[in-house]
Amino acid sequence: MRYLALLLVGWLSLPVYALTQVDIYRAEVAIDGEQKDGESLARQQGMKDVIVRATGSQSSLSNPVIEKAVGTSSRYISQLSYGQVDGQNSLKMLFNSDQIRSLLTQAQLPFWSANRANILVWLVEEHGYDRTITWEHTESPTVATLRSAAENRGLPITMPVGDIDDVTGVSISDLWGGFIDPISQASQRYPVDAVLVIRVQGDSIRWSLYDQSPSKISELQMSPRSGSASGANAMTAMVNGIADYYATKSAVIVSSESSESIDVKILNVASARDFFNLENALTQLNSVASTEIKRVQGNEVTLKVHLLASQQAFEQEASAISQLMVFDDPLGAEDNVVHESVSQPKAEDTLPAEVVSVDGAATEASTSDATVSDVAATEPAASDVTEPSDLENSVNKVAQESVEAVTSQPVVTEPVKETYDLIYEWRALARSIPQPDLTPVPQQASERELGDNLG
């Protein structure tokens, strides 16, 4: 009876589906009560955690666009509440998924989909001369560190439940020695995408990752990805390495066309110095991710400005730039761009009246050339004449010249309206110009010089 109860509990503990859906956008961070701006720092750390989880890369935090956005993390939070972490007050945050993805697009960073490979972890710990397998419900500091690191990186893991099938299906020596067949057989009962075997000796670990479904491990007989680490952060370092591997394998960069942007036209940009000052002023704004040039015509520059916030927020920040003034266009924010093209006219509009032959002579069907028809009609019929007459040659020549004259004329299409979201005028700072010395000569000096000259 006891055996049946244990078997039933183990069977109920088995996952029915692979848990591959990762909650990317939720974070909880303890508030440092000793810091005056502890909540602000917690919000920033929460956003950093979400960015790393969404990109699969810790280096993404050094991206200039991300660094700027983290400074205004509040605008990306959709839900905020308080909690407790190890007896310390914490902030529970849910970040807006659309805004985070748009931010990654603007920063040209990859996005790692929330549907990720679920990894079955076989963990063997060595304590002195004793080795044990760590199961799902085992209370172990090593497992706690593993779970925390995997959650921070958004790496789904599954621990074996440790029921009778697990205990009899694989032995400690099988796992420690890396024997493929028993590992494959024991893992097939779990709906996972990969198998990770970890061997822990003190503060050192060795790991082997079989990046195939359990049933394929013994079939393909492929060498696993292996590594080792040591020290207090050995487990975290291993998780980071595996997360980097899967992120590099699966993450994609979304085209920048999907990010929120506006077209801004700036007038009176008279020099390269003006342009660089303008670009630097815009990219310093918290609401701006990046800018790109769309068009330069004379002293006018059109930029596509990729935003981290709303257009209203951009306009408010831009109003603080002393050299950038809103330009009130009486004709509206649009330009007429004229395109010239040559189009072939329709035959019925350009070709002269059809030339026909009447009794061997050439004539036009048009009533406007009645004289030609009358002359041709007075000619005697001569069916044996095959050479074209002088009149026929003349008419054909005129017709050809008419066609060439019409088709060589360009046709101008209607102007295309180019619109802008905003129009500004750049007012460069006045540069100091050296002035000539206009100090008058003292009067006595002039009289003395005059006396010398007379003497």
pTM: 0.64
Question: 417 - beta bridge partners?
Answer: 336
The reported pLDDT for the residue numbered 430 is 65
**Tokens 């015509």 label which residue?**
297
The reported pLDDT for the residue numbered 257 is 52
The residue type of 240 is: N
CB-CB contact of 269 with 301 (8 Å): yes
The reported pLDDT for the residue numbered 46 is 97
**85 dihedral zone (left: phi>0; alpha: psi -120 to 50; beta):** beta
> Which of the residues in the chain have pLDDT under 50?
1-19, 258, 332-333, 337-386, 389, 391-392, 395, 398, 406, 445-451, 453-455
The reported pLDDT for the residue numbered 331 is 54
The reported pLDDT for the residue numbered 254 is 63
Per-residue pLDDT of 122-167, as tens digits, reads 999 998 889 999 999 998 899 999 999 999 999 999 999 999 999 9
User: Which parts of 202-287 are beta strand (E)?
Assistant: 204-210, 225-230, 261-267
Class of domain 119-250: alpha beta
The reported pLDDT for the residue numbered 377 is 41
Thinking of the domain 260-334, which architecture would CATH place it in?
Answer: 2-Layer Sandwich (3.30)
Per-residue pLDDT of 17-27, as tens digits, reads 444 789 999 99
* 257 phi and psi angles, rounded to 5 deg: -65, -20
The residue type of 363 is: T
The reported pLDDT for the residue numbered 340 is 42
The reported pLDDT for the residue numbered 375 is 38
The reported pLDDT for the residue numbered 164 is 94
Question: 291 - beta bridge partners?
Answer: 305
* 285 phi and psi angles, rounded to 5 deg: -70, 140
Domain residues of the chain, as ranges?
12-106, 119-250, 260-334, 340-375+391-412
The reported pLDDT for the residue numbered 314 is 87
Instruction: Determine which helix (DSSP H) or strand (DSSP E) holds 392, and give its type and residue range.
Output: helix 390-407
The reported pLDDT for the residue numbered 312 is 85
Here the tokens at position 229 are 């680490």
Closest CA to 44 of 23, 24, 78, 67: 67
